[in-house]
Structure 1
Amino acid sequence: MYRIAIEKLNSWKESKRRKPLIIEGARQVGKTWLMKEFGRKAYTDTIYINFDSNSRMAELFASDLNTNRLIMGLELYAGRKINPDNTLLIFDEVQEVPRALSSLKYFYEDAPQYHIVCAGSLLGIALHGGTSFPVGKVDFLSLYPLSFQEFLMAVGGERFAELLRMQDYPMIISFKQTYIDALKQYYFVGGMPEAVQSFVEEKDFNEVRDIQKRILAAYEQDFSKHAPIEIVPKIRMIWNSIPSQLAKENKKFIYGLVREGGRAKEYETAIMWLCDCGLVHKVSRVNAAGIPLKAYEDLKAFKLFIVDVGLLGCMTGLRQITLLDGNDLFTEFKGALTEQYVCQQLKTIDDLGVYYYTNDRGSCEVDFIVDTGEQIVPVEVKAEVNLKAKSLRTYREKFEPEISVRTSMADYRKEDWLVNLPLYAVGEIASYIAKFRFLEIESH
């Protein structure tokens, strides 16, 4: 299974300013597999250490964090010499031994020659939980479920994925049914590696659904096992309310849907916990369109999406027969799956700020507003081929963006101020915007 993150890891390895690397991401998005695969491909030796229930490692890191002493202890544990030039050190579930996290500072300062990659399914919580953390002494990499392009490659569509990267839309349109069929499968299967692997091998949607149910059950167990006991019921209530939140016409998160009379202060910690775990994406509202968008963030209004479209379908009991009903799948429960899908693809793009816009009267809403660092681009999501873009037009009249994007089931087309990007190509939005901007500059 190919993961684009491998290329980022290769760049990290070759970087002259390399620091110990922390891979963040929800449980079961493939962090352990990625680290081991990277070690196998890029190094002559890999030493893998799982810190979960590992008393020997807890003892090793309990006393002083002298790097020579730590390396000797790791060599004794592994039973072989660590060659700094061609050995990858993997610290998995590193949050279980907080002092191992603290040691990364000393590896960076005193022993930068060692290649260290760390991960942990609840690392985000450890980082926000007051652990002595080496700020500025580590690199970060976020890992998400497989994107649609990675899914295409996994199911044997490497050439089709390449075509999307090349943005050869006349050719893409010739094969659009292939993309639409794969997109339907992706809506159901999602991007959790175990579900994708099973689908590739068995092509059995029932087996996929069983895997998704197991993953959701494991998440529920994590709530009880790792969250502070007083917020566990609130985490469950938030988590279970997300499908109904997204099924509304206006997908803004409403506390009253969690519990009648619910208030923000009751649930803020629970939402933060889910965000820190990587289980939900919190997309905040902006009320203006300046750079950077973060400066216009309205912290009180937001949408919550979950980590994976396949898991959302599982939570809502989406049936596989829907895959056969023309393009009905894309409009299923008010287009919530489609908006979830688009959010998920946007989140995999590096250095892209993702927000949504409503005006103060609430008469204009744009599903996503993205900040590339150079441009603010509105993105309207249409779950069907009906292409009225009233809100986008209102937004454009007010803020005059260089480019406006609508993503839908329709084919690629560029009008004077609007580009229609097919849903299956939305993962290429950042490179499309960059290319568009370059061509605009050239033409002037």
Structure 2
Amino acid sequence: MVTISSVAIGLNTVWVLLCAALVFLMEAGFAALEAGFIHSRNSLNIIMKVLMDCTVGIIGYFICGFAIMYGADEAGLIGISGFLVQGDFSHLNLSVPVYAFWLFQAAFAIAMATIVSGAVAERMKFAPYIIFSLLATVLIYPLAGHWVWSSGGWLNKMGMLDFAGSAVVHALGGWAALAAVTVLGPRTGRFGKDGAITVMPGHNLPLAALGAFILWFGWFGFNPGSTLSGLDLNIAKIAVNTNLSAAMGGTIAALLTLFRYGKADPSMVINGALGGLVAITAGCAYVEPVSALIIGAFAGILIVIAVPLLDKLHFDDPVGAVAVHGVCGTFGTIAVGLFAEKSGLFYGGGVHLLFVQTIGVIAVSALGYSLTYALFRALKATVGIRVTEEDEIVGLDLSEHGIAAYNDLEYSPLKSLQHFSIQEPAKVKNEDISPA
């Protein structure tokens, strides 16, 4: 018998499955973005790493990641039931089948792992990356998600608000990326002993821009889909806030680079829009559209500051993952404590929520950084995490997979070595570095 209740459940299920597909499509955006931001000789390798996030990551999250994240828990630290998505999940009070909820969350899990793939591009071995991807979706992301989103999590009990994951997905992934970069080290020739920075521009910025558009599109599943209900009329405001913050982030990045360098920098505009998306993800359901514009504006400013700053500090992040996800994710989480309607500081709510948001994002970021740092140190001491200098020069497409991404090019190891030795990229001092 068809009832109003069964129709509502059906509509909500279709909504969540559709949004899960949109979030999964973001992996295509990540792949295109990261491939475009790096050398052509490594573009197939980075796509393979994103594919591994989708393969081993989904399997790992099914076997035990979901249980650690949403299983029953008395201490508020880790779930201990629901492995293989079996058992009683009544404590979640879901309005959709648990499998629909799992699929949606699985797409989030692999997105968190993929954030790190871009930061370690062009010099990390393929096999150790698979180990990281598995552990990220089995343990690192589920732990953070349990703390914030599970009803038993200690940050959830404190009242932390992170609607769709500025902290749980983005700050976690961004600071995990910084830990990975710290252990892995920069690409060969990236930084000189005299402080010079070698500019290594991406081989295909139109491809990177296409990736950004796909990510932006997928975010309409990422944020509105987190309502888990197609009947929740708040999805309209969530979608508007998401769009406004992205637009303002990209606009501010364009204007600032135009003013500072005389030309609008495409890579900064791309990352400015993505930074706006990341920053609004925590508060998209809690803030007004005008606040979303302000949050996006600050995200654009932070991108223009953070990208060259990380270069000056000699952290080699080819795609800007730390700036986009770590910096903007942290800011967006804290911004909820300022701009949330009724409970934010600027809306008469006092400092309590701001304090909770700050404690929460610090805890989640520390979790991501420390676990990733420990894992990469362990991998470095055992199987090794870095390709040889010769393999790095030849390119990871050939050295790790035995095939080039662009087979119409005369792409031999010998010619790659000759090209590297004859044509050195331009070098500039720290104070003269452009974010390109």
- Give TM-score scaled by structure 1 length: 0.29
Of structures 1 and 2, the one with the larger relative CO (CA 8 A, separation 6+) is 2
Q: Which has the higher strand share?
A: 1
Q: Which has the higher helix share?
A: 2
* Greater Rg by CA: 1
